[in-house]
Structure 1
């Protein structure tokens, strides 16, 4: 499966910054589950992450990954 990203000591606190980070992770690591992406981007709750992502991007994290992954 390969190595995943290293956990950063302090994820960004700004939701926009965390969503930007999550978008990078979604594309860079397509095999990592959404709940893991949420944690790596600084969200403790995957459901909250998905709702914030959808509010800011108008699509879900899974939809984003499907649309943008080659």
Structure 2
């Protein structure tokens, strides 16, 4: 498989795909639930049974928390 992005293409990396699918799943849960981001991250990583390469590519919970907090705030109504 080849990943194509405009004129840029390169061989497909299965570890990056595995990590991206997990990140997408975590993001969906963070947006739809009120559980803490750290707990959701830990639960999903434990269930995922990732390869060593995917674990190396996956961002840490500290790196992930900042971006996901912003995504959660966009969907949360403002308290008057």
TM range (shorter): 0.5 to 0.7
Relative to its length, the structure with more strand (as a share) is 2
Q: How many matched pairs?
A: 49
- Structure 1: segments with no counterpart, 5+ residues: 1-12
Question: Which one of 14, 20, 26 corresponds to residue 18 of structure 2?
Answer: 14
Check 1:68–1:50 CA distance in 2 against 1; reply closer, same or farther (3 A cut).
Answer: farther
Are the equivalent residues in 2 in contact too, given 1:22–1:40 (CA < 8 A)? no
Relative to its length, the structure with more helix (as a share) is 2
Whether 1:33 and 2:45 are equivalent positions in the alignment is: no
Q: RMSD of aligned C-alpha atoms?
A: 2.7
Write the distance in 1 (CA, Å) between the matches of 2:61 and 2:31.
16
3-state SS, counterpart of residue 14 of structure 1: helix
| Structure having the higher Rg | 2
Runs (4+) of structure 1 exceeding 2 A deviation are none
Are the equivalent residues in 2 in contact too, given 1:50–1:60 (CA < 8 A)? no
- Structure 2: segments with no counterpart, 5+ residues: 1-16, 47-58
